[in-house]
Every structure is written in structure tokens, then in C-alpha cells.
Structure 1
């Protein structure tokens, strides 16, 4: 089975505003707007049986729909930037949804996620990017703020191992109530 992860999708209108942030960093691999998302829980490569169990377990989630906003652009990697992203404004509903996904995956025997949850939309992956270019990019685009958008569902995405992220396929979608 392909690599799996749970996520919330970014609406087309917000993706359009994010795509306006592209450019300005040499060698950046920019994510295609149709692949923008906020990862809730990376699952990884699983066999078909575990994949079915994951799909069934996620169907038990009963959380309310909520609104979200992207607020600010930043980078991962410190002195050796490896990605630029749009941050999701602090949102208890999103944090609780992610925590439930984490608990469910651990209940299925998957190891705990090793990184703290920092909700974001990856805009570009960087390799050998100049820290000066990234700093200039962030200075110009850091104040970005998206329109608030409604989150009516989360999805289970699959992906093939590829360079730059995507294409992602929705394997299942789960409505928020």
C-alpha cells in the first residue's frame, strides 16, 4: 500500500493566495497548489490489512467542523533552511483533532509521532538554499495571512515516493460534524 497520512485540505481560494507566495528562492521545489494541505498524522507505508484498519478507525472520529486561518510564513531548518511554510493560526479544534489521530494510530500499534505538532502548509522544499535568500523571502512574505476558511472534513491521503511532494490521492474522507 502507498504511504499514508491524514490531513485537512486547503480550499482552492486559499491555495490561490498561497501560490502568490511562490518564487524568490533559487533551487526551491515549490509545491503545486492542488497539493497544499495541513498534515495531521503521518502514518507511512503500511500493508493492506493495516490500511483497512486505519480507514475503519478514522471513521470513528466525531469532532466538530471548525474554521482555520493561515497566519505568517516561516521556515524549518534554522541555519540550514529545508522548507518554507505558511503557519496555521493557533486553533484548539485542530490541535484536538490531531491529538485524536495520534491516539488512534498508537492504538493500532503505530509508534508515536516523534515531532511536536506544528500545523502548517509546506510551500517549498529547499536544498542548499542560501540563508540570505530565505531571510529576504521571509522578510517580504512573512506577514501573509489567509482568508479564514471552513474545515468540514479531514482526509486520508496516499502518496507515492516522489520529489517535491504529491501527487496526493484522497483514499477516504471523513466529515466533521
Structure 2
């Protein structure tokens, strides 16, 4: 079984800016910069046949390149406990349309619909035992984070190990966007 997801890569200069945010938050397990990405669609554990079908179906995506902006930081929480720290991604029409196309393609292949609302983001840390107060203080100190927009000219199909949160991720296929 292979765990798959589609995503946008983060350019090295942007990843460097994100990596400079590391530190000062108790309970944070910081993601390595080479594993930063914007998930388009989590697919999950798949057998070889399904993985091949997914890879072939994604090859038919025909979308123009677009620009992406990371602006601000936030946390995902379960109940009252924060569990992930992330950089917000502005949901441009190009991004939203690409993500929706991935969702349609995967459902046509018989995969279940994604149950959560799509929130474009780049996870920068996983949190364990971090208090809401500590997370709020860290966000207050760093929450105005912003980098210049960058061009997106491809998306990728990543694989990951089920037991390893936050990477390492392997690019299985890369799909250029239409120019």
C-alpha cells in the first residue's frame, strides 16, 4: 500500500522564510523545509492498481499556471488543543479550481469524497502538549508573516510513509500546468 496525496511545491526561497519561524513554541515539532507543500487532495493508502489509475487520471488536468501568496499564520485545533501550526495560503481562483478538479477526478475513480472543507495552507509544525495560550502568544509575535507571491507551474503526486508525520515525501509524478 502506498499513501498518496496531490500538492503544490513550495519554492526554496519561500521555504527558507518559513523555516526562519522555527523556535519559541513549546511542544512544536517543526517540519523540515524540504517537506513544505500545499496539499490539494489527500488520497490515502492505495494499492498499486489504484495508484496507477490516479497517476494516469491526473495527467489529463489542463489548467493554466497561477500565482500563490502565503499570508499570515494560524493553528488548527481539536477542541481546545492546537495540533498544527500553519501558514495561510490565499485561495486564488486558480488554486480553488485546481483543487476542485482533483476532487472530481478522484471521486470519478471511486475514491470517497474529502469530508473536510478545503483550507489551503502550509503546515510548519505539529503540536503536542502546546497550550492555547502559548500558541496564541507565538501567533501574536509572528502572525503578520507574509512572503512575495510566487508562480505555480506544476503540481505533484506525493507518496509518504503512514507512520511518519511531516515527511519524508517522495514525488511520484510531476504534472506541468498548461502555459
The two structures, once aligned, show a CA RMSD in angstroms of: 0.9
- How much has 1:128 moved relative to structure 2? 1.3
What does residue 69 of structure 1 align with? 69
Cα deviation code 1:14-60 (max 9, x no counterpart): 00000011111112110000000000000000000000000000000
Give the aligned partner of residue 117 of structure 1: 118
Q: CA deviation at 1:165?
A: 1.0
1:19 paired residue number: 19
Matched pairs, number: 177
On the 8 A contact 1:38/1:120 being kept in 2, the answer is yes
Retained in 2: the 8 A contact 1:3–1:43?
yes
Q: Which has the higher strand share?
A: 2
1:129 maps to 130
TM-score by length of 2: 0.96
Q: What does the per-residue CA deviation read over 1:107-156, in whole Å, with 9 as the maximum and x for residues that have no partner? A: 00000000000000001011110111100110011110112111010000
The answer as to whether partners of 2:70 and 2:146 remain within 8 angstroms in 1 is yes
What is the aligned partner in structure 2 of residue 56 from structure 1? 56
Task: Structure 2 unaligned segments of length 5 or more: list them.
Answer: none
Distance 2:40 2:135 in 1: 26
Deviation (angstroms), 1:164: 3.5
Q: Name the residue aligned to 1:91.
A: 92
SS of structure 2 residue aligned to 1:13: helix
- Which whole-Å deviations, capped at 9, do the CAs of 1:88-107 have from their partners, x for residues lacking one? 01211000000000000000
Structure 1: unaligned runs, 5 residues or longer: none
Q: Distance in 1 between matches of 2:158 and 2:132?
A: 32
TM-fit CA distance, 1:68: 0.4
**TM-score normalised by L of structure 1:** 0.98
